[in-house]
Amino acid sequence: MTYIAKPKFHHPGLKKNELGYTHRDYEGKISTLCAGCGHDSITASIIEACYELSIEPHRVAKISGIGCSSKTPDYFLGNSHGFNSVHGRMPSVLTGANLANRDLIYLGVSGDGDSASIGFGQFAHSIRRGVNMTYIVENNGVYGLTKGQFSATADRGSKSKKGVTNTDNAIDLVAIALQLGATFVARSFSGDKTQLVPLIAAAIRHKGASFIDVISPCIAFNNHAGSTKSFDYVREHNDAVNRLDVLVGRDPIAVDYAPGTVQMVEQHDGSRIALRKIDADYDPHDRLGAQTFLQKHAAKGQIVTGLLYVDPDAEDLHEHLNTVETPLNTLEADTLCPGSAALDKFNASLR
Amino acid sequence: MSDKKPISSVNDFVVRFANVNGSGSASANEMFARAILRHGVPVSPRNIFPSNIQGLPTWYEVRVTEDGHLGARGGVDMMVAMNPQTWDKDVAGIEPGGYLFYDSTKPMPSTKFRDDITVIGVPLTAITNSTYTDPRQRQLFKNIIYLGALSALLDMDPKLIEQLIGEQYKGKEKLLSSNVHALHLGRDWALQNLKCPTGLRVKKSDKVGDRIFIEGNSAAALGAVYGGATVCAWYPITPSSSVAEAFTAHCKKYRHDPETGKAKYAIVQGEDELASIGIVIGASWNGARAFTATSGPGISLMTEFIGLSYFAEIPAVIMNIQRAGPSTGMPTRTQQCDIIACAYASHGDTKHVLLFPEDPAEAFEFAAAAFDLAERLQTTIFLMLDLDIGMNHRLCRPLKWDDAKQYDRGKVMTAEMLDEGRDFGRYLDVDGDGIPYRTYPGTHPTKGSYFTRGTSRDRYARYSEEGSVYADNMQRLMRKFETAQDLVPRPLQANAERPTKYGVIYFGSTTPAMDEAIGLLEARGHQLDRLRIRAFPFHSSVASFLAEHDFVYVVEQNRDSQLRQLIVNENGIDPVRLVPIVHYDGSPITARFIAKAIGDHQDHIKVTPLRKAVS
């Protein structure tokens, strides 16, 4: 969170996207996070993804809870409305906002303390409801703002900066999201922009509950020997299953599952994501397979990254509720109020 | 055998049904109340039920009241004792000279009766067993059979009951005829074997008029429909669940697009109260009218978000159907015990708007108005009902709506206004009323966006921990609360027939009992001016009322006299001048209780009743 606005001047020759926006139009205020924080890399990836998708910045609602990660919406999409709500309760606020206006793009940013502890229930229920959102957890396994306590995603046996060993089992939010029916599930690493940008872009295009767990090393409290969320540890244990690109408005590219080939996944809005599959046995349409794959690699101490599961035919909460296409926040008395004649009939039925 | 003359009364008595929860008696008992209404005689029924699904005692009390006293009276003139578990208590509760109606299939020892009451035995089990073989039928029709017997004992017109059965089972001929048959089984047996009618009688009258008979929760839910609520998020909790359930039913009836069949509303049963209020706040932040319904424990869980609503200035409507606390308290008993918890909900300096409807008609009006207020004031509005209003049918004036009414969406800056060059600072007090402009997300490509947060910020929504900036914001919030005084429903004052130095303040579900108590007190010679509070913040007329009287009684249904505390706190008045009259055992307050408490206090402070002074 900052009160330092970025200077407005920029190079006139900055590249523009389809809508004529430059990269700068997707930026926000200057970050006050620690220099080198993985969260800032995620911020950069969000900016990049929104630029590439040619999203109108003000059509995004960015909602977060409380914590280091939840500060980050202030640092991107400066012309969007942001909402820094209460600790762990971002998902409910986002759900309400989405119900009010189904036409906006909803970006939920959360942390591991936010989503895996106090907000674990809200995380789970927003996923199972199929809220049309992109839910990004900036996962560093530690409470940064309160200086270094373990979060619920910290691995058992990992050590805090003060040398304390974590004796609790870790919660794997990706595994939970898969189990709860998220229709887009991915994991990435904040330092791997090549992978993360298209993942975010694809998640935004996906209609339904998209969840991305981004391992994001905490430079201050979780980047030491013994931590399983440090830069070095993640780099050593990163096992990418695929890479993907977002191709908006282009013809689909056929993909197969063989290593080195590409798989196309069609989204509801017609955009397509191309999956470049590295692991020969991996099928991103197989929820059960994804769960097994994840657990198998977790048992080896490996972190699986990439698009783990996507359902191209997903429905969202509005479809479940059969709501009108018109955003609810635009409906007025003439369409909402049954009027006095209906009330007279209602009164008559109560005598 | 009675040594007390049986009570004789026409259209003015109390019948209480003692049943076992889950026995299917509710339908028959409610039909009894409705049948009396069809006679043109006002009734005031109350459910008295346990926090249990099946097996525990439950009571349904019907006050038959030609004079239209809709508060609980206290005392029972006829007990329909259908629950062996509570027999002793039920028999003991009958007024001297009253009546005991019971199932006489099995003989009871004489010690189980009283000499000062009239005992009416009907072999209900024997009649049902000889007629029906199916156990469930036996259980359900036993209830209709006692309704039939009562119709004879109280001189009711059976055709009116048949009419109700006809309405209830319209299109289900088999059920209709079998229920009518059961009704006449009981009625005929009573006419042939008992002295009918008793001293208690129902005589056709014309005192109901065009009034309607409705539960407060249903009326409040309909108010939400009329008030334009499109998002409802809730979590089940007694006694508020029926608000959301009724809202769902009303929306299904009124809110589907006729062409597409699609819903012009969204209802989510949240995973808990925290999520429910979070959804409400998210939806309201994004420009929809949203509400939740809950009760005390839910309010406790919601308080963090309520603080956010106050400080970040996001509209929200919470319907709090109060029950007896603290903690789980008595979940199915009524109280007005969340006044302080709601008025100052959350940490830090907060103040919230409370609305206190007196009956379902006001619950409807105030519920609809709550959405205008929430958007006008950009804050949480509490609709403070309680179980007594919410879950009981009440006779009240018909619900009314002005078709010319447009919703007050409050100060919302549009893209056009921004393009005109209007200065947008989310927390700028441009009109001096403490209420800033807001924008909805997605309004404008380059103007009007801001960051909503629960942390301190300046007038342009920029994060700031400057003390002066924080204080400036907090003072503006106070200005806004002062503005609210003139927007919320004003108190209603009614003066005594003669000038008096004594007043009484009350609110909400206490109203009918208070109205009746005034009559009882006047009969004792005590004159009282009265003021019915309808909202917090208090209008200036509350302070005036306090200034005009030496003593003011504050009648409420909680232990700590919470409204009185609020009045003292907000008006800086000497507490000694505000006399607490509190009732908090979970039952609805009665006129008898109020009249005795105030009368005794008047005696204690040696007020000479005017009646005596005159004589």
CB contact under 8 A, A100 and B462: no
CB contact under 8 A, A95 and B268: yes
Beta strand A262-266 with A272-277 is antiparallel
- Tens of pLDDT, residue by residue over B172-209, are 988 899 999 999 999 999 999 999 999 999 999 999 99
- Residue among A93, A194, A138 nearest B268 (CA): A93
- List CB contacts of A290: < 8 A, sequence separation 6 or more: A178, A185, A284, A308, A309
Mean per-residue pLDDT over chain B, rounded = 95
B111: burial class by Cβ within 10 Å (0-12, 13-18, 19+)? exposed
Residue type, B191: L
Give the integer Cα–Cα distance in Å for A232 and A217: 9
Q: Which residues in chain B are contacts of A57 at CB distance < 8 A? A: 445
Q: Which residues in chain A are contacts of B212 at CB distance < 8 A? A: 347, 350-351
**Two tokens at B569?**
């706190």
- Residue among B181, B161, B125 nearest B31 (CA): B161
Q: What is the 3-state secondary structure (H, E, C) of B353-372?
A: EEECCCCHHHHHHHHHHHHH
- Tens of pLDDT, residue by residue over B332-378, are 999 999 999 999 999 999 999 999 999 999 999 999 999 999 999 99
DSSP B110: G
Chain center to CA of B527: 28
Residue A342: φ, ψ to 5°: -65, -35
Which chain A residue's Cα is nearest to B273? A92
DSSP B450: -
Q: Choose the closest CB to B262 out of A317, A324, A333.
A: A324
- Average pLDDT on B604-615 reads 67
Three-state secondary structure call for residue A184: strand
- pLDDT, greater one: A165 or A256: A165
Q: Which residues in chain B are contacts of A125 at CB distance < 8 A? A: 270-271, 275
- Average pLDDT on B579-604 reads 96
The number of CA neighbours under 13 Å toward the Cβ of B474 is: 13
Scan residues 182-241 of B and list those with Cβ closer than 8 Å to A. Answer: 208, 210-214, 222, 225-226, 228, 230-231, 233
CA quadruple B477, B478, B483, B485: dihedral sign: positive
- Average pLDDT on A2-7 reads 61
Q: Choose the closest CB to A81 out of B228, B446, B449.
A: B449
Chain center to CA of A33: 19
Mutate to test the interface with A, among B419, B451, B465, B470 (most CBs of A within 10 A): B451
Residue A272 in this model has a pLDDT that exceeds 50 = no
Q: Choose the closest CB to B282 out of A97, A333, A337.
A: A97
Residue A262 in this model has a pLDDT that exceeds 70 = no
Tallying the residues shown for chain A, one arrives at 351
Which helix (H) or strand (E) segment holds residue B94: the answer is strand B94-103
Report pLDDT for A63: 98
Q: Which residues in chain B are contacts of A82 at CB distance < 8 A? A: 449-453
Residue B615 in this model has a pLDDT that exceeds 60 = no
Give the integer Cα–Cα distance in Å for B331 and A57: 48
Task: Place A296 in a pLDDT band, splitting at 50, 70 and 90.
Answer: confident
A96/chain B closest Cα distance in angstroms: 4
A130/chain B closest Cα distance in angstroms: 12
User: For the whole model, what pTM was predicted?
Assistant: 0.93
B452/chain A closest Cα distance in angstroms: 5
Mean per-residue pLDDT over chain A, rounded = 84
Residue type, B143: N
- Average pLDDT on B495-516 reads 96
- Tens of pLDDT, residue by residue over A32-63, are 888 888 899 999 999 999 999 999 999 999 99
Note the ipTM here: 0.94
Scan residues 64-123 of B and list those with Cβ closer than 8 Å to A. Answer: none
Residue B375: φ, ψ to 5°: -80, -35
Residue A129 in this model has a pLDDT that exceeds 90 = yes
Question: Do residues B237 and B294 make contact, with C-beta atoms less than 8 angstroms apart?
Answer: yes
B417: burial class by Cβ within 10 Å (0-12, 13-18, 19+)? middle
Three-state secondary structure call for residue B244: helix
Give the integer Cα–Cα distance in Å for B102 and B437: 65
Residue B214 in this model has a pLDDT that exceeds 50 = yes
Which chain A residue's Cα is nearest to B37? A351
Which chain B residue's Cα is nearest to A84? B453
Of the segments A292-306, B103-117, B466-480, which one has the largest average pLDDT value? B466-480
CB contact under 8 A, A100 and B439: no
% of residues, chain B, pLDDT over 90: 92
Question: Do residues B3 and B115 make contact, with C-beta atoms less than 8 angstroms apart?
Answer: yes
A224/chain B closest Cα distance in angstroms: 32
B108: burial class by Cβ within 10 Å (0-12, 13-18, 19+)? middle
DSSP B129: H
- List CB contacts of B231: < 8 A, sequence separation 6 or more: A96, A99, A100, A328, B265, B266, B267, B268, B279, B280, B283, B288, B289, B290, B291
Give the integer Cα–Cα distance in Å for B590 and B509: 10
- Average pLDDT on B435-461 reads 97
DSSP A112: H
Which chain B residue's Cα is nearest to A122? B275
CB contact under 8 A, A337 and B270: no
Three-state secondary structure call for residue B355: strand
Question: Do residues B49 and B95 make contact, with C-beta atoms less than 8 angstroms apart?
Answer: no
Report pLDDT for A222: 63
Residue type, A167: T
Q: Where are the domains of chain A?
A: 23-349
Report pLDDT for B157: 97
DSSP B382: E
Q: Which residues in chain A are contacts of B440 at CB distance < 8 A? A: 81, 101, 329
Can you state the percent helix, strand and coil of chain B, rounding each to 5? 40, 20, 40
Q: In the CATH scheme, what is the homologous superfamily, with its name and number, of domain A23-349?
A: Thiamin diphosphate (ThDP)-binding fold, Pyr/PP domains (3.40.50.970)
Residue type, B347: H
- Average pLDDT on B479-501 reads 96
Q: Choose the closest CB to B230 out of A93, A318, A328.
A: A328
A314/chain B closest Cα distance in angstroms: 19
- Tens of pLDDT, residue by residue over B397-411, are 999 999 999 999 999
Residue type, B526: H
Q: Which residues in chain B are contacts of A325 at CB distance < 8 A? A: 262
Residue B380 in this model has a pLDDT that exceeds 60 = yes
Tallying the residues shown for chain B, one arrives at 615
Report pLDDT for A242: 64
CB contact under 8 A, A100 and B278: no
Report pLDDT for B483: 98
Q: Which residues in chain A are contacts of B450 at CB distance < 8 A? A: 81-82
- Residue among A81, A43, A41, A90 nearest A62 (CA): A81
Report pLDDT for B535: 98
Residue A260 in this model has a pLDDT that exceeds 90 = no
> From residue A112, how far is each of A144, B69, B525 by CA, in Å?
11, 59, 69
A243/chain B closest Cα distance in angstroms: 32
Give the integer Cα–Cα distance in Å for A298 and B343: 50
Please report the DSSP string for B293-338 in residue order: EE-HHHHHHHHHHHHHHHHHT--EEEEEEE-B-STT-BTTS-----
Any idea which of A298-302, B23-27, B315-319 has the lowest mean pLDDT?
A298-302
Q: Choose the closest CB to B305 out of A59, A86, A343.
A: A86
Q: Which residues in chain B are contacts of A94 at CB distance < 8 A? A: 282
- Tens of pLDDT, residue by residue over B552-567, are 999 999 999 999 999 9
- Tens of pLDDT, residue by residue over B122-180, are 999 999 999 998 888 888 899 999 999 999 999 999 999 999 999 999 999 888 999 99
Task: Place A219 in a pLDDT band, splitting at 50, 70 and 90.
Answer: confident
Q: Does B259 touch chain A (CB under 8 A)?
A: no
Q: Work out the angle between the directed axes of helices A120-129 and B273-285 (0-180°, nearest 10).
A: 60
Does the N-terminal peptide bond of residue B491 adopt cis geometry, omega within 30 degrees of 0? no
- Tens of pLDDT, residue by residue over A164-185, are 899 999 999 999 999 999 999 9
Residue A251 in this model has a pLDDT that exceeds 70 = no
Any idea which of A142-156, B309-323, B542-556 has the lowest mean pLDDT?
A142-156
Report pLDDT for A264: 40
Q: Which residues in chain A are contacts of B456 at CB distance < 8 A? A: none
Three-state secondary structure call for residue B445: coil
Q: How many CB atoms lie within 10 A of CB A261?
A: 13
Any idea which of A44-48, A225-229, B305-309 has the lowest mean pLDDT?
A225-229
CA quadruple B263, B265, B269, B275: dihedral sign: positive
CB contact under 8 A, A94 and B282: yes
